[in-house]
Amino acid sequence: MSSPEPHENGFGLEPRWSVEPDIKTIKQTTQSIRLSSTVEVVFFEQGAFNKLYNVRINEEKAHHASFIAGGLMAGLVLPPQHGSMTAPAKETRASRLLFELTGKPRTAALGLALAAVVLINIASFIAANSSSISILSSSATLAAVLAGSRSGARGSPSADIIGTRADSNYYYYVPSPSPAPLDSSSSSPNPQLSLHLPLCPSEAMIMPAPGPSVAAAARLARQFDYPSPQLQRGVDEFLRQMSEGLSKSGATLSQIPTYVTSVPNGTEKGLYLAVDLGGTNFRVCSIDLHGDSTFNLTQSKVPIPRDLMVAPSYKQLFQFLAKQVEHFLELHHNEHFETTVRRRRMTGTTDQYRREEIFDLGFTFSFPVHQTSINQGTLIRWTKGFDIPDAIGKDVCSMLQNAIDELHLPVRVAALVNDTVGTLMARSYTSPGKTETLIGAIFGTGTNGAYLESLNKVTKMDTSKGADFDQSTGNMVINTEWGSFDNQLSVLPNTEFDQQLDAGSVNPGIQMFEKRVSGMFLGEILRRAILSLTKDPEANLLQKNGSSIPDTSPLYSVWGIDTSFLSAVEADTTSDLALTKAALREHFEVHDPSTDDAVAIKTIGHAIAKRAARLSAVALSAVLLDTGRINTDETVDIGVDGSLVEFYPKFVDYIREAMREIKGVGEKERKVRIGIAKDGSGVGAALIALVAHKSNVGQPRR
């Protein structure tokens, strides 16, 4: 018997047949069902039809409920030649199913339920033992009813999540081999419901059953779960460490005063330089602030040579940085560069040209420093793969200024800026409305946050003898350095892959929060997880059906996977993850990767990134609670920057989802506005250089 030509259904999709249907016409029958919870439909055929299918229906789109109605009313039929007669499913089970789906016993819903009960019982008679269906809901009741909790009580369904598909909306489930009956007092077997589902909503994806590599990947992915109780403990500990960092030096959470006591309002004007040393690249910018929340920016970016990131002396690195500033001025500001530099190089000492017009430069330096003024700060430690021992304890602005002076450039390092402070300033300059920005946060190569704190809470600063900053605002921007949060691992998750990564890092035992959140490390965590499954004989990832990994593959090299790969895989919505398989072939030299390989890798990558987002929510929520701004009636503005928030699909959505689970935030999360701070480190550094210039008005500038 051949399958009939598929017909267009009400969702504009062609049905795909799991078995040969005895249906000539399929039509949408009703819109009367409204879902009370998210429902996932799983079709699992046993025996000769050993395939797994899944469809998810989102509760936000109630019209997709017609999928259920159409499936029950028009498509719950299997060919009569399949199997022998079995006992019918219990009416109570089917009725409870429909009641759960409809949410309330309206007349139309009850009518549909009765019709569905009849069809379910007919289907179960003709299906024999060839197939079964489980419909799982976020409701524990429905889960217990349909998945068969062994105690018969409300609880987790006896089914294993074995993978994700396309994005977090699609899941594979494998029913337990011997689910318990609904009524634990009954000796009758759990009935099998043969339901053919010919209709599917537009978001649905129906795929063949995954193999053992996908199941193994899902088991591994569960190591990266970060549930609500752990989330709450993380926030509580973060709040404690915030308070400790404000009260004393040397705390795990550094809480560094920045000597910036206000944020912009969009009216600032001027032409400034900014440089950004924040990770694997160095950027030079000139920013023309227009005074109306807009600006023009010119920039160049170069990679940092690896041998300068790990070196015995800092001089080579800072000479390289100064040389890039020289190239930039020569290219983009040549009219001022040529005459000034020529004259300077003919002059004996730098003191003789200090009074010339110069560019004020904001130096974004995204590493822990002990800042003592707006343009002075000594390096505490390196992060993000840098290791230059003789720079520790030295003033980073002086190191850059000395290298600039060696080239006789018309530039003054006017402000030391952490990239998160720059993000905060840039967001506040450009943010919509009059709401000042509370937090600037980076979720990119590294992660860190800065926020506006009440000055009276920064008790480790002795302001009684006066200080070189404006105290009249009553506030100060604090650089949290939250990458070092919970180095003791009292609340942070710690999988075997986290442990391996830390042990092989240049700074084991520190920056433990950053190593679980930032883009620099997520790809390496994924690489180590993938390799563990390639060595697992049961999973056999990337090792079967002609697939193989050559010894030269970057998968065997430390840092061989960039986090951009996780973003690309998460964004892959092709039916067979073709883009992911292409990336495995082209970038990692994997020969003939299978769809199962791609699904397995996507499953793990998704879990790693979602954990990072939920950990990010810990930090942001703690700041909201500490400042009390979440309890006001005003919108709370947060500026973010970095590759994860810009390019990883739904990263901010996952942050918001976690924030809603945190006590004290919850539904008030709706008041939080999270926006990208465009070019935060460049524009923000320019804005702080402007602040520094105002405090040195006697100094001429360009």
For residues 195 and 183, the answer to whether their CB atoms sit within 8 Å is no
| pTM (2 d.p.) | 0.66
The whole-number pLDDT of residue 23 equals 31
The whole-number pLDDT of residue 555 equals 94
Instruction: Tell me which residue of 251, 505, 501, 468 sits closest to 380, measured CA to CA.
Output: 251
- Between 473 and 141, whose confidence is greater? 473
Stretch 413-431: mean pLDDT: 90
The whole-number pLDDT of residue 333 equals 85
Which of 253-267, 320-334, 369-383 reaches the highest mean pLDDT? 320-334
Fold adopted by 264-345+355-417:
Nucleotidyltransferase; domain 5 (3.30.420)
- Residue 651 to residue 138: CA distance in whole angstroms: 22
The whole-number pLDDT of residue 602 equals 96
Stated as kind and residue range, the H or E segment containing 417 is strand 411-417
Q: Does 70 have pLDDT greater than 70? A: no
Fold adopted by 211-258+433-694:
Hexokinase; domain 1 (3.40.367)
Q: Does 645 have pLDDT greater than 70? A: yes
The whole-number pLDDT of residue 547 equals 73
The whole-number pLDDT of residue 579 equals 95
- Residue 279 to residue 302: CA distance in whole angstroms: 11
Residue position matching structure tokens 């996932």: 40
Phi then psi for residue 661, to 5 deg, are: -90, -5
The whole-number pLDDT of residue 416 equals 94
Q: Tell the burial category of 589 from Cβ atoms under 10 Å away from its Cβ (0-12, 13-18, 19+).
A: middle
Q: Does 131 have pLDDT greater than 70? A: no
The whole-number pLDDT of residue 467 equals 61
Alpha-carbon torsion angle 302, 287, 256, 262, nearest 10 = -170
Q: Does 458 have pLDDT greater than 50? A: yes
Mean pLDDT across the chain: 73
Stretch 592-600: mean pLDDT: 93
Signed CA dihedral, 213, 216, 220, 221: sign only: positive
Stretch 9-31: mean pLDDT: 31
571 alpha carbon, distance to own chain's centre: 12
Q: Does 151 have pLDDT greater than 50? A: no
Least confident of 122-131, 390-399, 639-648: 122-131
pLDDT-derived band at 436 (thresholds 50, 70, 90) equals: confident
Query: What is the residue type of 503?
Result: A
Q: Does 556 have pLDDT greater than 50? A: yes
Catalytic residues: 366, 381, 419
SS3 content of the chain, % helix, strand, coil (to 5): 40, 20, 40
Q: Does 90 have pLDDT greater than 70? A: no
Q: Does 141 have pLDDT greater than 50? A: no
Stated as kind and residue range, the H or E segment containing 234 is helix 228-247
Stretch 638-653: mean pLDDT: 95
Q: How do the domains of the chain map onto residue ranges? A: 211-258+433-694, 264-345+355-417
High-pLDDT (> 70) share of the chain, %: 64
- Between 542 and 4, whose confidence is greater? 542
Q: Does 186 have pLDDT greater than 60? A: no
Least confident of 41-55, 620-634, 635-649, 654-668: 41-55
High-pLDDT (> 90) share of the chain, %: 49
The whole-number pLDDT of residue 50 equals 28
User: Reduced to 3 states, what is the DSSP secondary structure of residue 113?
Assistant: helix
Residue 300 is encoded by which pair of tokens? 């160049």
Stretch 102-122: mean pLDDT: 44
Q: What is the pLDDT of residues 461-472, one digit of tens each?
A: 865 555 677 788
pLDDT-derived band at 22 (thresholds 50, 70, 90) equals: very low
Least confident of 165-174, 444-453, 572-581, 638-647: 165-174
Q: Does 349 have pLDDT greater than 60? A: no
Residue position matching structure tokens 């998210």: 38
Residue position matching structure tokens 């053919």: 196
The whole-number pLDDT of residue 523 equals 96
Q: What is the pLDDT of residues 195-227, one digit of tens each?
A: 333 333 333 333 455 689 999 999 999 999 999
